Amino acid sequence: MPYRRKFLKRAGYTTLSALLTMGFLQKDNQKEDNSTNAIAANNTSKNLNSPLRQLAAAKGKRYGAAISGEFLLKDKDYANLIARECSIATPNGELKWDATEPQPGKFTFESADAIADFCRKHNIELHGHTLFWHMGKPDWVPYPPTLQMIERHVKGVMGHYRNSPVLKSWDIANEIIADSENETDNATYGLRKGVKPELIRDLFLIAASVDKNKKFYLNDFGIEGATWKSDRFLKMVEYLKNSGVKIDGAGIQSHLWFSTAYGFDEKGFNSVLKRLNDLEVKPIITELDIIIDTPLPDSIKKLDQMVADSYKRYLDLCFAAKVDTVITWGLTDRHTWIRHPRWMPRKTFRNNPSLWKFLRPLPFDENLQPKPACNAIAQAFQQAT
């Protein structure tokens, strides 16, 4: 099953019924009016029109997005929007292995350096993504890579950014937990086939030997609830902690997909957040976007409201657990990855270009205008205690 389907199939999603329990979809109009009015009412207040980075900073938090160097260069309006709204940014692909070490031992940083320079100019923190992943790697790199390959790669890439004034954190490893128990040969930690816990431990140790002044994260998807995957992810975090490894945060990607097919689990999500707190590993929201799948509502207006309510509900849970960093996977629907045929939810959208207009997972629309989702995120920051 292609990555995207597998990726979406097992990540934590919300059924419409669960949406009702989570307050994402209000059953009766009155409630709906309240939630809409609440956002609308706030919309008039000056604050809500403030840049999201400013509303986040007012609560000691950061808001940002995945950004693409290509669009920063080609799309000035997009670049200005990023500069206005984001206080942290993750390169969409420019710091992945295939971009930084396309040939063994040959490092290329032009595209990542251009993003780092943009971040420096606009006082945006840069989050490094990622040093170890089963995708985004050149063909010469096997999965898992050998320890020698890992050591050369980590020393080359982290070394290049050791003194960077903007890069402050790394996804040291990304998506190392398998999608299900029949895709791992490690029952305890559920690691992807061929990956041993000791290899990940050594990866983190090598990273600390290169630059212990950055924050180190273990990043994954489908852990936004009490799932087989989140249980193994938390066990792996605990293993790394018990191995004396420097691990500062857990990246919860948060690609949320609401449909009648998948269950979101508010109680389970809270238990994941609590477990991370107990392990003294900070939960970081690293790739948030919200996709509504079948049954689609009958209008874009209704879809946008569902997405907005979902952002608000999810971020309220995050901020109640003192999450202080929220990165959406993109800022505008214009450049969302989910509109790419390879990544969109196949069943509903793949062969239905007429439905692609419903793929609206981000705070700003394709004309770079704020959507109800933007107001909802603003309101969540504003109400965060």
Site residues, ligand XIL (CB under 6 A):
92-93, 174, 253, 287, 337
Q: Which C-beta is closer to ligand XIL: that of 101 or that of 309?
A: 101
Q: Which residues is 89 bridged to in the sheet?
A: 65, 126
Asked if residue 373 lies in contact with residue 313, where contact means CB atoms within 8 angstroms, the answer is no
Number of CB atoms found within 10 A of residue 59's CB:
15
For ligand XIL, the closer of residues 7 and 381 by Cβ is 7
Asked if 283 and 323 touch (Cβ cutoff 8 Å), the reply is yes
Amino acid at 32: E
Tally Cβ neighbours within 10 Å of residue 234.
22
Number of Cβ atoms within 10 Å of the Cβ of 105: 9
- Cβ atoms of 130 and 90 closer than 8 Å: no
Shortest Å distance, C-beta 252 to ligand XIL: 11
Closer Cβ to ligand XIL, 4 or 371, answer by number: 4
State which residue, 22 or 89, has the beta carbon closest to ligand XIL: 89
Q: Which residue is nearest to ligand XIL (CB)?
A: 337
- Select 61 or 96, whichever has its Cβ closest to ligand XIL: 96
In sequence order, which ranges of 27-68 are alpha helices (DSSP H)?
29-44, 52-57
Please state the closest distance from residue 92 (CB atom) to ligand XIL, in A: 5
Cα–Cα distance for residue pair 219/171, rounded to 1 Å: 6
Q: Please state whether the peptide bond connecting residue 51 to the residue before it is cis, i.e. omega within 30 degrees of 0.
A: no
Query: Is 233 strand, coil or helix?
Result: helix
Shortest Å distance, C-beta 340 to ligand XIL: 7
Shortest CB 207 distance to ligand XIL, Å: 17
Q: At CA 292, angle to CA 66 and CA 28, rounded to 5? A: 130
Residue 28: other Cβ atoms inside 10 A? 8
Residue 105 Cβ vs ligand XIL, minimum distance, rounded to whole Å: 24
Peptide linkage before 130 cis (omega within 30 of 0): yes
CA angle 307, 311, 312 (to 5 degrees): 120
Q: How far is the CB of 93 from ligand XIL (least distance, A)?
A: 6
Our CB check for ligand XIL shows the closer of 265 and 287 to be 287
C-alpha 105/C-alpha 153 separation (Å) is 8
Closer residue to ligand XIL in complex, CB, 231/287: 287
Closest distance of CB 29 from ligand XIL, Å: 37
CB closer to ligand XIL, 136 vs 297: 136
Tokens of 301: 């207006």
Is the CB of 343 or the CB of 381 nearer to ligand XIL?
A: 343
Nearest residue (CB) to ligand XIL, 11 versus 48: 11
Q: How far is the CB of 32 from ligand XIL (least distance, A)?
A: 32
Question: Shortest Cβ distance from residue 109 to ligand XIL (Å)?
Answer: 18
- 194 Cβ partners below 8 Å, 6+ apart? 143, 144, 185
> Rounded to an integer, what distance in angstroms lies between the CA atom of residue 335 and that of residue 93?
13
- Judge contact between 169 and 214, C-beta under 8 A: yes
Closest approach, Cβ 253 to ligand XIL, in A, equals 6
